[in-house]
Amino acid sequence: MSLYSEILEQPDRIENLLSAQRIQVEHIATEIRKRDIQYVFLAARGTSDNAGRYANYLFGAINGLPVALATPSLFTYYNQPPVLKNALVVGISQSGKSPDIVNVLLEGRRQGCLTLSITNEPSSPLAAASDFVIDLQAGDEKAVAATKTYTTELMAVSMLSSALAKKEHHWQSLASLPGWMRTSLKQDQLIAQAVQRYRYISQTVVLGRGYNYATAFEWALKLKELTYIIAEPYSSADFAHGPIAMVESGYPVFAVAPQGKVFDSMLEMLRRLRSEISAELVVISNHDSALSLAQVPLSIPTDVPEWLSPMVAILPAQLFAYHLTRTKGFDTEQPRTIKKVTETQ
């Protein structure tokens, strides 16, 4: 098992999660509806935190539920947890072993809140602290850089949102995801060749907006973890409010811009970067207007709905980070300094 093989197996893992956990997720949704849940209080770290960013948009747009991203240090070092009345307290963690995330769930339970863990380890401390568990069933993830646990976390969030919304057509879209993902992965060799262009880059920015704000953060994280370049993620809106000043001719800008509500604003930014500044663009999209602006266009299927696009768009981003790591001569399996499980307090 390697990082590369774990990237490629993601469509199968998504397919398995959907078939194995739908009944459990619908049961959880039924129990949530019995409570006076006013918002979601979500705790996560690292890659799982990016899954939380996706949940922030999804639960808000589809289910009308605000999402508050927890500050775990309030529950540990400061010992000053906020009042969590009427919250669904959710912990997302690949390993379920991080004490600060576990403490958020324990406090939620102490305050009488409904608690849910989304984890790849259903026998973990996080799962034990929860009323309900969604088992990611991603299989053993050997590589330090998380890939399949990230997409299965997104899938678990999407399944819960669909169950809460009681929209059967959403489940039909979820069933199409593995096929869209397999199509996206067919660009593997194209990406392996394209990254040669970026062998010597030391910094970049990664842009996304809406649902794919999470994708920008996750792509940037993979670049930092594996290639050691300085990769800063931004909303395209925030980027226009100052950081764009650092971009000059030839500066590499990576962007995730699928069709959807925020596409026009992303396209406007890409056009500005290309025509006014002559930036070097790598663009993941399913719209020709955006792809045509890129020196390296990476396509995803045109029929992917915006709310599910993060699970498809992240795949070429993962392959890009993997192949760039190899091109730079670094170890894809054991990045320096970091460990697979980080148990923060």
Q: State the pLDDT at residue 342.
A: 62
pLDDT digits (tens, 9 = 90+) for 133-152: 999 999 999 999 999 999 99
Query: What DSSP line would sit under 25-59, residue for residue?
Result: HHHHHHHHHTS---EEEEEE-HHHHHHHHHHHHHH
Note the pLDDT of residue 207. 98
CA quadruple 110, 113, 114, 119: dihedral sign: negative
pLDDT of residue 166: 95
To the question of pTM greater than 0.75 for the whole model, the response is: yes
Helix (H) or strand (E) holding 162: helix 148-165
pLDDT, position 198? 97
Provide φ and ψ at 283, rounded to 5°.
-130, 130
Are the C-beta atoms of 93 and 150 separated by less than 8 Å? no
The strand ranges marked E within 220-312 are 230-235, 252-256, 280-285, 296-299
Residue ranges and CATH numbers for the domains of the chain are 3-178 (3.40.50.10490), 186-327 (3.40.50.10490)
Backbone angles phi, psi at 132, to 5 degrees: -135, 155
User: CB neighbours (10 Å) of residue 246?
Assistant: 11
For the chain, what is the largest distance between any 2 Cα atoms, rounded to a whole number of angstroms?
56
Distance CA 74, CA 162 (A): 31
**Residue 236 — φ and ψ, nearest 5°?**
-60, -30
pLDDT of residue 200: 96
Measured between alpha carbons, how far is 273 from 253 in angstroms, rounded to an integer?
Answer: 9
pLDDT in tens, the chain (345 residues): 699 999 999 999 999 999 999 999 999 999 999 999 999 999 999 999 999 999 999 999 999 999 999 999 999 999 999 999 999 999 999 999 999 999 999 999 999 999 999 999 999 999 999 999 999 999 999 999 999 999 999 999 999 999 999 999 999 999 999 999 999 999 999 999 999 999 999 999 999 999 999 999 999 999 999 999 999 999 999 999 999 999 999 999 999 999 999 999 999 999 999 999 999 999 999 999 999 999 999 999 999 999 999 999 999 999 999 999 999 999 999 898 776 566 665
Q: How many helices (H) and strands (E) does the chain have?
A: 13, 10
Gap between the Cα atoms of 284 and 317, Å rounded: 8
